[in-house]
Structure 1
Amino acid sequence: MVGSRGFPLVRSSLALTFVLTMAEVLNLIGSASFPALLPEFRSLWSLTNSEAGWISGIYHVGYISAVPLLVSLTDRLDARRIYLFASAVGALSHFGFGFLAEGFWSALGLRALGGIGLAGTYMVGLRLLSDRVTGPKASRSISIYTAHFAIGTALSVLLAGEAARFGGWPSAFYLAGAACLSACLMVGLLIRPIKREKLAAIVPLTKLLDPRPLVGNRPAFGYILGYGGHVWELFGVRSWLVAFLVAAVAFQDLAGEGWSATRLATLLFMLGLPASFLGNELALRFGRRRVIIGAMGAAAALSLLVGYLVGSSPMLLLPILGLYVFLLNVDSGALTAGVVECADPGRKGATMAFHSLMGFAAGSVSPLVFGLMLDWGALWDEPTWAWGLAFSSLALGPLLGILALVLTAHSLRLAPR
C-alpha cells in the first residue's frame, strides 16, 4: 500500500519499529544540546550552577506540563496526528533557541517549549508503535524503542559538541530543528493512519485525565513509581555528565592530550542501548521486579561513590563511570514494557501518560537538586566534596523506586510479567 504522495506505508512489525525508532532518535537530537554545551553557556551568560540546573530541568517541566493531555488524547485520537504536531513544535523550539536565546530567561522559555515537543513524540510514539505492533513481538519492539532513547541522547551530546565546535553554539540547535522536521516527514509519509473507531476504546473526554483508575491499577502503579525513581537518577546524570567530565579532564590536565568531554559522554551514553535491551531480556527470563530492583540497588550504590572520583585517574574513573551509566539503563525498557502490559486497554494512553509524567516530573527536579548540591558543596572550596554530594543526591530516586516496587510486590506477582 502507498500513501497519498506515492510513499510506501510500512506495515510489518520490524519496519514499523525501525521507522518509529529512527524518528524517535531524530526528535531527541536537541534533547541534550543545552547540557552538552553547559560549560560554554555558564561562561557566556554568567550562569550560576543553580541557573544552569533550571535551564536543564525546565525542558522536563515543559514535558510534564504537556504529556498528560497529549498522551491521554491517544485514547481518543490516532497518535500519529499528535506526533506530527509535536515534531513541528520541537523544530520550532530548537530553531528559536538558535536564533533568539541570549540569556537565562529566553533560554528557559525556549527549552520549555522543546520539552512540550518531546511530550508529544516520545511516549506518543510508543503508543503509536503499540497500537500497530501487538502480541509476542510487542515487548521486544517496546524494548528496542525505549533503548534508543539512550542513542538519541548520546547523539544529541555528540552532535551538539561537534556542531558548536565548527559553527558556534547556534549550529547545534539548527541541526536539532532540522532533525525534528525530518522525523515529522518520516512519520507522516511512512506510517499509516488508524481510524478513530478502530482504537481499542474511546474514553469519555471528561474522564480522560482522571488518575483514580490508574492509581487503582496497582501492578501498573508500581512500575510507574519505579520509573519515577529511575528517571530521577538518569536525567540527573544526563544533565550534568558533560560538566562532570570537563571537571575530571581539568583535574588531570588532559585537555591538551585530545580528551573531549562531549565525546566521552557520547560513548558512555551509547551504553544505554545494550543495557536497556539486555535488561528487558533478563526481565523476561528472571522476572521484571527482580531485575529492576537489582539494577536500581547497584546504580544507587555507585551514585554514592562516583562523584568522589572526579580527581581520580581516568583508568579508574572511566570504567566505574561506564558501569554506572550501564546500570542506570538496565531497568528502562523493563519498566516501560511492564506498564504497557499491565495497562487497561481502554486507558492505555492515560496510563502511559501518567507513567511518563511521573518519570519526567522526577527528571525535571533532579538536575536542579544536583546543581544546588554542587553550589552548596562548593562553599567549602573542595570540588571533590561538591561533586560527591551532587551525585549522592541521585541515589534518592532508585531507593524510593525500590521501595515502591517492594510495596506493590503482591500485586506485581499477580500481574503479567
Structure 2
Amino acid sequence: MLPLMALSLQEAAPGRWSALAGLAFAVVLAMAPWFSAVAVLPQLRVVWRLTDAAASGLTLAVQLGFVLGAVLSAALNLADRVSPQRLILTGALIAAGANLGLLWAGGPTLAAGLRALTGAALALVYPPALKAMSAWFRTGRGTALGVMVGALTLGSALPHLVNGLGGANWRSVIFITSALAALGGLIASRVGDGPYRFPTAPFQPSQAWRALTSRGVGLATLGYLGHMWELYAMWAWFSAFFTGVLVNAGVADPGRGPALATFAVVGVGALGCGLGGLLGDRWGRTRLTTLAMGLSGACALALAGLAGAAPGVVLALSLMWGFWIIADSAQFSTIVSEIADPAYVGTALTAQLALGFTLTAGSIALVPALVRAGGWPLAFVVLAVGPLLGTVAMRRLARTPDAARIAGGRG
C-alpha cells in the first residue's frame, strides 16, 4: 500500500502546472520567427521582386534548416547530454538574431541562408522543450505535451496576426517576432528541472537510428510522417489559398483578410492540441491519433470539393481542418517518451522530428506544382493521402506489445 501511496504522491509533482505554463508561454514566443517570412511574403515579393521559385525557397529554407539542425542534434545526442533549458535559450537567441538579419538581407539569396539558420536554431528549442516537460509529468503527459504543441501552434500563428494587424510594415513583423523569440528563450531558462528527469546519456551517434528502427517507435514515427505530410503544407500555403478564394468571390482587395484568416485557422489548432492531449490520456493515443488523422484527411477532401464555395463556408471548414490537423501532433512525441530507451528519449524525439520536417519540405514544395497542374482541389486530395496512411500505422501500433506501455496501458 505504501509504495502505491508514494507513487501517487510522485505523480502529482508540485509545481508541474506552473512549469507547464511557463515553458508553454516561452515556446509560444520562441517559435514566433518560424513563419515570420511567410506571413510577410506578399510584401517581400514586391520589395525584393521575388519570383515564385524564390518565394518558395524562403518557405522551404526554414524547414530544411530545422532538418539539418535536428539531424546534427540527434547525431550528437545534444538533447540527452545538455540541459534542455540551456539548449532552448541558445536556440531562441540564435533564431532571434537570424530572423532580425532579414532587415538587412536586401534580397532572397542572403535571406534564404538566414531562414535556414533560423530553422536550425529552432531545432534546439522544440525537441528539448518536449523532453523538459516530459520530466514534469508521468500521468497526464499527453495533455502536457498537447499544451506544448498548442504553444508551438500559437507561436507559428503569431506572425500572421502581427501582419494582419500591422498592415504592410513587414519590418515591424520581423522585429517583433525576433524580440519575442529572445524573450521566450530567457523565460524558458528560468523553468526548473522536473522530478522525473531522464538519465544523462553518453555520446552514441547510433542511438538515433536504433530508436527509429525499433518496432514501436518506428510505427509511431510512420504515423507522425502521415500527419506531417499534410500539416506544414497547409500552414504554409493557406494564406495563398484563401487569397484566391476571396478574389474568386469578387473581393478586389483582400487586404488583411487572408492574414487574419490564416491566424485563425492555424491558431485554432492550439485548442485542438488541448483536446487531443486530454483524449489521448483518457482514450489511448493510438485511438486519438487515428480519429484526428481521419477527420483531418476528411476535411482536406471536403475542401477539395468546396474550394469554389463562398468564403464563409470555406473558412468554416478550414477552421475545422485547422483544429484536427494538429490535435494528434503531441501524441506521437508522447508515445516516444513512453516507449523509447529512457536514456535517449531526447535523441529519439529529435530524430522523429527530423524525419517529419524532412517530409514537410517535400509537401510544401509540391503544393505549388499541384496547384498549377490541377488547382487547389488536386493539392488537397494529395495532402489527404498522408493522414489516411498514418492511421494504418497507428492501428498497427495498437496491436503490438508496446501498446501496453502507452497511456497507462490504454494504447
TM range (shorter): 0.7 to 0.9
After TM superposition, give the deviation of residue 193 of structure 1 in Å: 6.4
After TM superposition, give the deviation of residue 99 of structure 1 in Å: 2.1
Would you say 1:83 and 2:116 are equivalent positions? no
Preserved contact between residue 150 and residue 270 of structure 2 (Cα < 8 Å)? yes
The equivalent of 1:396 in structure 2 is 385
- Distance in structure 2 (CA, Å) of the matches to 1:51 and 1:303: 27
The equivalent of 2:8 in structure 1 is none
Preserved contact between residue 306 and residue 391 of structure 1 (Cα < 8 Å)? yes
Preserved contact between residue 247 and residue 310 of structure 1 (Cα < 8 Å)? no
2:405 aligns with one of 388, 394, 415 = 415
The equivalent of 2:120 in structure 1 is 116
Preserved contact between residue 154 and residue 267 of structure 2 (Cα < 8 Å)? yes
Q: Which moved more, 1:18-27 or 1:404-413?
A: 404-413
- Distance in structure 1 (CA, Å) of the matches to 2:56 and 2:305: 20
Q: Which moved more, 1:257-266 or 1:348-357?
A: 257-266
Question: How many equivalent pairs are there?
Answer: 392
Which one-letter code corresponds to 1:392 in the other structure? V
Would you say 1:170 and 2:171 are equivalent positions? yes
Would you say 1:97 and 2:106 are equivalent positions? no
1:285 aligns with one of 269, 282, 287 = 282
- Distance in structure 2 (CA, Å) of the matches to 1:396 and 1:209: 31
Provide, for residues 209-234 of structure 1, a one-character-per-residue CA deviation record: whole Å limited to 9, x for no partner.
Answer: 43342134322222222112212211
Sort the Cα spacing of 1:214 and 1:403 in 2 relative to 1 into closer, same or farther, 3 A.
same
Q: Where does 1:165-244 land on structure 2 (aligned, <5 Å)? A: 165=168, 168-188=169-189, 190-192=190-192, 200-205=198-203, 207-244=204-241
After TM superposition, give the deviation of residue 106 of structure 1 in Å: 1.9
Sort the Cα spacing of 1:213 and 1:259 in 2 relative to 1 into closer, same or farther, 3 A.
closer
Which one-letter code corresponds to 1:191 in the other structure? V
Preserved contact between residue 131 and residue 346 of structure 2 (Cα < 8 Å)? yes
Sort the Cα spacing of 1:415 and 1:325 in 2 relative to 1 into closer, same or farther, 3 A.
same
2:327 aligns with one of 312, 330, 340 = 330
Preserved contact between residue 35 and residue 238 of structure 1 (Cα < 8 Å)? no
- Distance in structure 2 (CA, Å) of the matches to 1:387 and 1:222: 30
Preserved contact between residue 54 and residue 367 of structure 1 (Cα < 8 Å)? no
Tell me how large the CA RMSD over aligned residues is: 2.5
**Helix, strand or coil: the match of 1:329?**
coil
- Distance in structure 1 (CA, Å) of the matches to 2:209 and 2:62: 27
Which one-letter code corresponds to 1:75 in the other structure? D
Preserved contact between residue 161 and residue 172 of structure 1 (Cα < 8 Å)? no
Preserved contact between residue 37 and residue 161 of structure 1 (Cα < 8 Å)? no
The equivalent of 1:150 in structure 2 is 153
**Helix, strand or coil: the match of 1:136?**
coil
The equivalent of 1:7 in structure 2 is none
Sort the Cα spacing of 1:415 and 1:255 in 2 relative to 1 into closer, same or farther, 3 A.
farther
Preserved contact between residue 143 and residue 281 of structure 2 (Cα < 8 Å)? no
Q: Where does 1:290-329 land on structure 2 (aligned, <5 Å)? A: 290-329=287-326
The equivalent of 1:8 in structure 2 is none
Provide, for residues 18-56 of structure 1, a one-character-per-residue CA deviation record: whole Å limited to 9, x for no partner.
Answer: 111111000121211222222333344444444322321
Would you say 1:27 and 2:17 are equivalent positions? no
Provide, for residues 235-277 of structure 1, a one-character-per-residue CA deviation record: whole Å limited to 9, x for no partner.
Answer: 0011001111111111112355876111111112221112111
Sort the Cα spacing of 1:234 and 1:273 in 2 relative to 1 into closer, same or farther, 3 A.
same
- Distance in structure 1 (CA, Å) of the matches to 2:62 and 2:329: 20
1:54 aligns with one of 52, 57, 68 = 57
TM-score w.r.t. the length of structure 2 is 0.88
Sort the Cα spacing of 1:38 and 1:257 in 2 relative to 1 into closer, same or farther, 3 A.
closer
The equivalent of 2:5 in structure 1 is none
In structure 1, the gaps of 5 or more residues are: 1-10, 378-384
Sort the Cα spacing of 1:285 and 1:191 in 2 relative to 1 into closer, same or farther, 3 A.
closer
**Helix, strand or coil: the match of 2:201?**
coil
Provide, for residues 272-292 of structure 1, a one-character-per-residue CA deviation record: whole Å limited to 9, x for no partner.
Answer: 112111122222232221221
TM-score w.r.t. the length of structure 1 is 0.86
Provide, for residues 83-139 of structure 1, a one-character-per-residue CA deviation record: whole Å limited to 9, x for no partner.
Answer: 111111101111101222x333222111101101211111111222223x0322433
- Distance in structure 1 (CA, Å) of the matches to 2:123 and 2:212: 21
Preserved contact between residue 96 and residue 110 of structure 1 (Cα < 8 Å)? yes
- Distance in structure 1 (CA, Å) of the matches to 2:170 and 2:366: 26
Q: Where does 1:130-149 land on structure 2 (aligned, <5 Å)? A: 130-131=134-135, 133-149=136-152
After TM superposition, give the deviation of residue 140 of structure 1 in Å: 2.3
Q: Which moved more, 1:350-359 or 1:63-72?
A: 63-72
Preserved contact between residue 147 and residue 277 of structure 2 (Cα < 8 Å)? no
- Distance in structure 2 (CA, Å) of the matches to 1:92 and 1:324: 33
- Distance in structure 2 (CA, Å) of the matches to 1:194 and 1:252: 52
Sort the Cα spacing of 1:37 and 1:258 in 2 relative to 1 into closer, same or farther, 3 A.
closer
- Distance in structure 2 (CA, Å) of the matches to 1:257 and 1:352: 40
- Distance in structure 2 (CA, Å) of the matches to 1:25 and 1:70: 22
After TM superposition, give the deviation of residue 308 of structure 1 in Å: 5.0
The equivalent of 1:6 in structure 2 is none
Which one-letter code corresponds to 1:83 in the other structure? I
- Distance in structure 1 (CA, Å) of the matches to 2:166 and 2:66: 25
Would you say 1:351 and 2:348 are equivalent positions? yes
- Distance in structure 2 (CA, Å) of the matches to 1:334 and 1:94: 30
Q: Which moved more, 1:61-70 or 1:252-261?
A: 252-261
Which one-letter code corresponds to 1:27 in the other structure? A
How high is the sequence identity, in percent, across the aligned residues?
26
Sort the Cα spacing of 1:271 and 1:234 in 2 relative to 1 into closer, same or farther, 3 A.
same
